[in-house]
């Protein structure tokens, strides 16, 4: 008798603004073999359009942001019948082969200590993996597999039990740095992450600064992340490190002014529940190659 297929819940968000890319993403997703898929498409402020038959939908009256949209999708497929894994899948990504998800699950079986498995993301035209898609500090070699402390959250496989214990994504972040928050929380639960670069998922190499409010949100959310997850003595170290890096990297005075406005917004509060990681977790992250101050 054949073994039962692993249940994977898949969360896709849409704003109905990428019809062609969305159709390609869904086609590649529904072509996956050797896994038991349950898929939900969350319309962030829209009624989802062009959704294939048999795929569940959830409509949010307003755009609540990417992390909260992911939370809503995962909850919609949760409960007693929730899958063992949750796969968060950008609506402009493509799974290049029909065994991609099954290979991610197999990688998770080989690494039971890992709460999440991160595939390598590559541009479909050039094959290039951007540095920001490589979840480690030394990102020059995108093909080096191993333990990781953060994630590229647009395409990632997470064990549902760990995801729920961690409390899900920080929904109020709206966009940016929510993957660091979730990763740190998972590590604080005694888990790890694993990067599997031989499993490739296609995603166009776009500039994150194309999003409205980019500089404000990245600055605000850095502050929120620090206050939510770091021991008090590390908060000023972390924020000082990122302030220096940001001032060095941001060339436009106008963008820098927006960044500082976001920094002030974060310092005024709004980060939500403070649940700082233990010093043991700080040590574990440091030994894994990324102390939580950079």
Tokens found for residue 261: 């406005």
pLDDT for the residue numbered 137: 82
d(CA 253, CA 34): 52
- Distance CA(183)–CA(153), nearest Å, equals 10
First to last CA, the chain: 50
pLDDT averaged per 10 residues in sequence order, the chain, 294 residues: 82 97 98 97 98 96 97 91 93 98 98 98 94 86 94 96 97 96 98 98 86 89 98 97 93 92 97 97 96 92
- Alpha-carbon dihedral angle through residues 207, 177, 100, 39, given to the nearest 10 degrees: -110
Q: Under DSSP, is residue 209 helix (H, G, I), strand (E, B) or coil? A: helix
User: Where are the chain's structural domains?
Assistant: 6-206, 210-287
Q: Read off the pTM.
A: 0.95
Q: Which residues contact 180 (CB under 8 A, 6 or more apart)?
A: 150, 151, 225
Q: What is 6-206's CATH topology?
A: Spore Coat Polysaccharide Biosynthesis Protein SpsA; Chain A (3.90.550)
Predicted pLDDT of residue 1: 46
DSSP E strand boundaries for the chain: 6-14, 35-44, 56-60, 85-89, 114-122, 146-148, 155-159, 192-202
Give the span between the Cα atoms of 19 and 169, in whole angstroms.
26
């Amino acid at each position: 008798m054949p073994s039962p297929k692993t249940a994977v819940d898949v969360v896709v968000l849409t704003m109905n603004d990428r019809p062609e890319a969305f159709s390609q993403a869904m086609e590649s997703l529904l072509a996956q073999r050797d896994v038991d898929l349950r898929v939900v498409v969350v319309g962030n402020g829209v009624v989802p359009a062009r959704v294939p038959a048999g795929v569940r939908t959830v409509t949010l009256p307003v755009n609540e942001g990417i992390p909260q949209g992911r939370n809503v999708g995962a909850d919609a497929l949760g409960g007693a019948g929730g899958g063992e894994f949750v796969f968060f899948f950008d609506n402009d990504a493509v799974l290049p082969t029909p065994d991609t998800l099954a290979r991610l699950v197999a990688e998770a079986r080989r690494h039971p200590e890992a709460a999440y498995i991160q595939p390598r993301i590559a541009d479909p035209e050039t094959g290039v993996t951007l540095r920001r898609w490589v979840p480690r500090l030394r990102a020059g070699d995108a093909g080096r597999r191993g333990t990781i402390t953060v994630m590229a959250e647009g395409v990632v496989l997470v064990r549902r039990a760990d995801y729920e214990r961690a409390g899900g994504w920080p929904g109020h972040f709206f966009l940016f740095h929510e993957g660091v928050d979730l990763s740190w929380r998972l590590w604080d639960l005694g888990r790890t992450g694993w990067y599997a670069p031989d499993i490739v998922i296609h995603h166009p190499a776009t500039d994150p600064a194309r999003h409205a409010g980019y500089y404000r949100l990245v600055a605000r959310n850095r502050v929120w992340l620090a206050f939510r997850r770091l021991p008090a003595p590390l908060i000023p170290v972390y924020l000082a490190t990122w302030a220096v890096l940001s001032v060095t990297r941001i060339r436009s005075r106008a963008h820098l002014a927006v960044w500082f406005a976001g920094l002030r917004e974060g310092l005024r509060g709004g980060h939500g529940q403070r649940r700082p990681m233990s010093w043991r977790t700080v040590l574990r992250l440091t030994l894994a190659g990324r102390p939580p101050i950079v």
